[in-house]
A = this chain, B = another copy of it.
């Protein structure tokens, strides 16, 4: 790969649109901030990644089960989890240029120092002032700033048939109020029907702990896994699908006996990083980074990030956190329902007698399905220079996706649209359908263009029906990465591809 890192994102975004992987949401209406739609190829890639995760986390394990909870949960859930009070960014308005920005991401200055900045109304005019805080406006540099306001990142909505806006209007009508009073009336009325879009899939596993443990008689240690959409009203969205307001997660809460969490954290951080590496061309671009003490969330006793080397540097892909018994205890307090586990075999460490009721500790590997999609696209993108059969220089773009992640496993191509070739090609596709292997019939444009197209969308194998097929019942199988072709019999096509997919 000799692509300038700075170009890679642009090239990838362009390929994603051109080939139907990812489009901007509502593009014909000018798009919507950081929302993306997954096109025909993108949805297959994302589905494959998520299916592989589900298989490795749920289907292939005895002690992990799935959950698919509603996106809108009871508002008390977010009260207990702490999201209502503390899942927020500190926002500040510049009083000069009106920019709204995150205080914790603004340029740092020394408190009390003199700063110079530009007048937004007259760019030639230089202004001077004293910094009253440790940061200034990121746009004009001004130290004249509004108070910090905590801006909660959860999307709000209203459930029920009562229109809270009418209630507010009725309460406020006919009398003068100050802004504070108005805000209080609005907050009070809106609170009655306010619900939130979940900012993570995780809380449902704690809230449904009893139902799931009891209905399946699960024994600790066990895990509950969930995949699905989450929503965050991010002020800063960046890097294509890396940080967006609507995204997809793959999270698992692993419940274990108090005291065993260090062992399980160790187990899960290795399992997860190895999972990523097993589908990658460049496993060295994945690494584990332990959180420093001052980075740790207050409820966590340890945490690792799985980081990937994106074009803009190392950044987060998954967090594997040791969350102690914080969440179950908080929901237990908030709901008045015991969320504990009784182990008949274990010895109660306090009494020394058999039988121990405890609140399980939790290890949480929290992966981003959207981010994993970006990571595997970056890992796969490749430009190759070579020479064609006539010695002419030519280059190609290849998505070297792992065959299990590739949207289409096999393209079946009749060399020409006649002489019975389409019929043979379609009968091969039929066999693949029946075996549940994603194959696509493709008869448009020249064979060379079709190979190039399938290289670009990551199809690992192309099967071509040609003149010789009519004579001896053999077809060519072409390998995406080596571009090598060999002849196999039509009968062996499915088993050949299946063997290579394993």
Q: With an 8 A cutoff between CB atoms, is A300 at the interface?
A: no
Bound Cα distance from A118 to B461, whole angstroms:
75
Q: With an 8 A cutoff between CB atoms, is A172 at the interface?
A: yes
Q: Out of B36, B42, B68, B233, which one reaches A70, CB within 8 Å?
A: B36
Bound Cα distance from A235 to B159, whole angstroms:
9
Q: With an 8 A cutoff between CB atoms, is A74 at the interface?
A: yes
User: Is the CB–CB distance between A151 and B155 below 8 Å?
Assistant: no
User: Is the CB–CB distance between B23 and A43 below 8 Å?
Assistant: no
Q: Is the interface of A mostly helix, strand, loop or mixed?
A: mixed
User: Is the CB–CB distance between A26 and B77 below 8 Å?
Assistant: yes
Min Cβ gap A319→B in Å is 23
Question: Whose C-beta in chain B lies nearest to the C-beta of A247?
Answer: B70
Q: Out of B72, B156, B186, which one reaches A32, CB within 8 Å?
A: B72
User: Is the CB–CB distance between B182 and A169 below 8 Å?
Assistant: yes
Q: With an 8 A cutoff between CB atoms, is A210 at the interface?
A: yes
Task: Please give the count of copies of this chain that the complex contains.
Answer: 2
> Known interface pairs A26-B76, A55-B436, A77-B26. Does A156 touch B155 (Cβ–Cβ under 8 Å)?
no
Q: With an 8 A cutoff between CB atoms, is A166 at the interface?
A: yes
Comparing A2-10, A13-21, A253-261, A266-274, the segment that makes contact with chain B is: A13-21
Question: Whose C-beta in chain B lies nearest to the C-beta of A91?
Answer: B161
Query: Which B residues are in CB contact (< 8 Å) with A35?
Result: 70, 72-73
Min Cβ gap A372→B in Å is 15
> Known interface pairs A168-B182, A174-B176. Does A38 touch B67 (Cβ–Cβ under 8 Å)?
yes
Q: With an 8 A cutoff between CB atoms, is A217 at the interface?
A: yes
Q: With an 8 A cutoff between CB atoms, is A65 at the interface?
A: yes
Chain A residues with a Cβ closer than 8 Å to the other chain, count = 101
Q: With an 8 A cutoff between CB atoms, is A163 at the interface?
A: yes
Query: Which B residues are in CB contact (< 8 Å) with A42?
Result: 68
Query: Which B residues are in CB contact (< 8 Å) with A67?
Result: 37-40, 43
User: Is the CB–CB distance between A156 and B159 below 8 Å?
Assistant: no
Bound Cα distance from A28 to B81, whole angstroms:
14
User: Is the CB–CB distance between B215 and A17 below 8 Å?
Assistant: yes
Q: With an 8 A cutoff between CB atoms, is A454 at the interface?
A: no
User: Is the CB–CB distance between B157 and A217 below 8 Å?
Assistant: no
Comparing A331-339, A350-358, A390-398, the segment that makes contact with chain B is: A331-339
Query: Which B residues are in CB contact (< 8 Å) with A26?
Result: 73-74, 76-77, 207
User: Is the CB–CB distance between A161 and B207 below 8 Å?
Assistant: no
Query: Which B residues are in CB contact (< 8 Å) with A38?
Result: 67-69
User: Is the CB–CB distance between B176 and A208 below 8 Å?
Assistant: no
Comparing A133-141, A438-446, A473-481, the segment that makes contact with chain B is: A438-446
Q: With an 8 A cutoff between CB atoms, is A239 at the interface?
A: no
Q: Contact flags (1/0) for A178-202 with B, using CB distance below 8 Å?
A: 1110110011001000010100000
Query: Which B residues are in CB contact (< 8 Å) with A170?
Result: 179
Q: With an 8 A cutoff between CB atoms, is A433 at the interface?
A: yes
Q: Mark out the residues of chain A between 143 and 163 whose CB falls within 8 Å of any chain B CB in the assembled complex.
A: 149, 151, 155-163
Q: Out of B36, B165, B186, B211, which one reaches A169, CB within 8 Å?
A: B186
Query: Which B residues are in CB contact (< 8 Å) with A174?
Result: 176-179
Bound Cα distance from A271 to B158, whole angstroms:
39
Q: Mark out the residues of chain A between 351 and 377 whose CB falls within 8 Å of any chain B CB in the assembled complex.
A: none
Query: Which B residues are in CB contact (< 8 Å) with A403?
Result: none
User: Is the CB–CB distance between A27 and B211 below 8 Å?
Assistant: yes
Bound Cα distance from A177 to B183, whole angstroms:
15
User: Is the CB–CB distance between B25 and A69 below 8 Å?
Assistant: yes
Q: With an 8 A cutoff between CB atoms, is A30 at the interface?
A: yes
Could you list 13 A-B pairs, sorted by A, with CB under 8 Å?
A20-B216, A31-B74, A37-B67, A37-B68, A40-B67, A40-B212, A40-B216, A149-B163, A160-B233, A166-B179, A169-B179, A169-B183, A176-B176
Beyond the given pairs A18-B215, A157-B157, 15 more chain A to chain B contacts, judged by CB atoms under 8 angstroms and listed by A's residue number, are A20-B211, A26-B207, A28-B331, A29-B334, A32-B159, A37-B70, A39-B65, A40-B224, A155-B158, A157-B197, A165-B186, A166-B183, A169-B179, A169-B180, A173-B182
Closest 6 CB pairs of A and B: A26-B74, A40-B65, A20-B215, A173-B179, A28-B335, A38-B68
